[in-house]
């Protein structure tokens, strides 16, 4: 769709103009106040236009808003120190990135430079950025977009995600079968540089599939065993979204490389690729880590304040508590609805999946109806909802949003 000279694709279907936003609410062009269940897809985890974050950006704007890639503003070095201090001890070196896609491309370049290998292992139907190099990690060759814009698929291998439905009784068998397939590939393929995955949940495709308990721990063991680097994409799982400050903290798994964006700045445009001193020293002359607009001091100020708030307020604890509440509420309310296939999530990253091909169901119409009642939802795919309220949402506002959502789902019964 082309609207007001801007292209909106089927994934980011045009909805309405936003006139203002604050906390857990956004207002449309008619000044209608709407509860937000998207956080801009895990961006404004601390709420829209968080005052502390905005004030930090304004304060920095009075000092300096830009520095070139061969210089450093003091706030960049302060943030690098505080960000790495919040991570496992081995993750100490950062490249200054602009977005999740550049962070993930940097991670892949680093892995290839370090190992001397080419291939990247990933899951199909996942999302790690919109440039063709990262789209190929999740898109399969048979998809129409693949034939249109991709070069070829020889440099990476895709796996099927080991999805666990919340009613599954064979979770450990699913994990066992997946690990068998993974190790079979690692034994045969000698040119795999890295395995790219999120921390046990898909946040970027819209499915919100959950992996079995123990998934990340076992993946880490196998990647180490076969000399494959583990790249964790924490663009969606980072900054308290899943009930821990970072997704890796659920199992205390330490990747070789980790990437951050989205919630890192609560709306400020910034990202980061973090790795170890050893990997960085052996690769930076080959991987070309540079960015004209990477880590603008203006955006770093927003990211620094965002991190400080997460650590000070232990935002992840509220996210875990509210996430459990959302999941229980939805399962209780929708347990007898035959076309609800799955209700699952980690922290406040909740997926509700309806039966594909549900008669008379139209996702765009559903979203428009919900908005008319005061709830803003993201368009994931034709039958899946990804609920991502701001982590700071008030309980009475959360309840009102859930009430609207449940009512709309039940309306097809």
Q: Does residue 182 form part of some domain? A: no
- Looking at 313, 337, 364, the residue that finishes a domain is 313
Q: Is the pLDDT of residue 196 over 70?
A: yes
CB atoms within 10 A of CB 188: 9
pLDDT tens-place string over residues 153-190:
677 889 999 999 888 779 999 999 999 999 999 999 99
Number of domains in the chain: 2
Residues 263 and 383 in one domain: no
Q: Is the pLDDT of residue 144 over 80?
A: no
Residues 231 and 306 in one domain: yes
Residues 202 and 320 in one domain: no
CATH code for position 297 = 3.40.640.10
| Least confidently predicted of 81-95, 117-131, 279-293, 361-375 | 117-131
pTM for the predicted model, two decimal places: 0.93
CA distance readout (Å), 213 to 162, 171, 185, 218, 325: 11, 8, 22, 10, 20
Q: Does residue 181 form part of some domain? A: no
Residues 103 and 217 in one domain: yes
Q: Is the pLDDT of residue 239 over 90?
A: yes
Q: Is the pLDDT of residue 10 over 70?
A: no
Q: Is the pLDDT of residue 234 over 90?
A: yes
Residues 21 and 71 in one domain: no
- Looking at 296, 313, 330, the residue that finishes a domain is 313
pLDDT tens-place string over residues 298-342:
999 999 999 999 999 999 999 999 999 999 999 999 999 999 999
Q: Burial of 87 by CB count in 10 Å (0-12 exposed, 13-18 middle, 19+ buried)?
A: buried
Residues 200 and 224 in one domain: yes
Phi, psi (degrees; rounded to nearest 5) at 19: -95, -30
Instruction: Give 56's contacts (C-beta < 8 A, 6+ positions apart).
Output: 301, 302, 304, 305
Average pLDDT over residues 106-127: 91
CB atoms within 10 A of CB 10: 10
pLDDT tens-place string over residues 49-70:
999 999 999 999 999 999 998 9
């Amino acid at each position: 769709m082309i609207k007001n000279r801007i292209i909106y694709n089927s994934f980011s279907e045009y909805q309405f103009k936003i006139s203002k936003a604050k906390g857990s609410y956004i207002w449309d062009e008619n000044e209608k106040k709407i509860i937000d269940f998207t956080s801009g897809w895990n961006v404004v985890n601390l709420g829209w236009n968080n005052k502390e974050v905005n004030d930090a950006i304004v304060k920095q704007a009075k000092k300096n808003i830009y520095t070139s890639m061969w210089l450093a503003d003091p706030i960049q070095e302060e943030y690098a120190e505080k960000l790495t201090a919040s991570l496992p001890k081995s993750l100490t070196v950062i490249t200054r990135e602009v977005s999740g896609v550049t962070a993930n491309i940097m991670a892949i370049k680093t892995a290839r430079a370090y190992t001397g290998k080419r291939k990247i292992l990933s899951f199909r139907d996942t999302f790690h950025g919109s440039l063709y190099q990262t789209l190929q990690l999740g898109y399969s060759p048979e998809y129409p977009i693949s034939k249109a814009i991709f070069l070829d698929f020889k440099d990476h291998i895709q796996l099927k995600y080991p999805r666990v439905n919340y009613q599954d009784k064979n979770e450990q068998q699913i994990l066992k079968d997946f690990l068998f397939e993974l190790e079979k590939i690692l034994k045969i393929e000698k040119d795999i540089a890295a395995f790219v995955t999120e921390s046990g949940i898909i946040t970027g495709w819209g499915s919100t599939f959950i992996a079995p308990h123990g998934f990340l721990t076992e993946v880490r063991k196998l990647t180490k065993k076969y000399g494959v680097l583990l790249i964790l994409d924490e663009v969606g799982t980072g900054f308290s979204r899943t009930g821990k400050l970072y997704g890796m903290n659920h199992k205390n798994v330490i990747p070789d490389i980790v990437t951050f964006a989205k919630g890192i700045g609560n709306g400020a445009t910034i990202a980061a690729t973090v790795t170890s001193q050893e990997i960085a020293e052996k690769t930076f002359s080959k991987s070309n880590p540079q960015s004209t607009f990477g880590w603008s001091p203006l955006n770093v100020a927003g990211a620094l304040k965002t991190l400080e708030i997460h650590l000070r307020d232990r935002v992840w604890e509220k996210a875990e508590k509210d996430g459990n509440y959302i999941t229980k509420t939805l399962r209780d309310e929708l347990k007898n609805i035959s076309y609800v296939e799955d209700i699952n999530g980690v922290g406040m990253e909740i997926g509700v999946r309806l039966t594909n091909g549900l008669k008379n169901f139209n996702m765009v119409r559903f979203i428009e109806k919900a908005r008319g009642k005061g709830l803003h939802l993201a368009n994931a795919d034709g039958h899946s909802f990804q609920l991502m309220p701001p982590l700071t949402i008030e309980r009475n506002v959360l309840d009102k949003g859930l009430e609207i959502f449940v009512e709309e789902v039940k309306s097809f019964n």
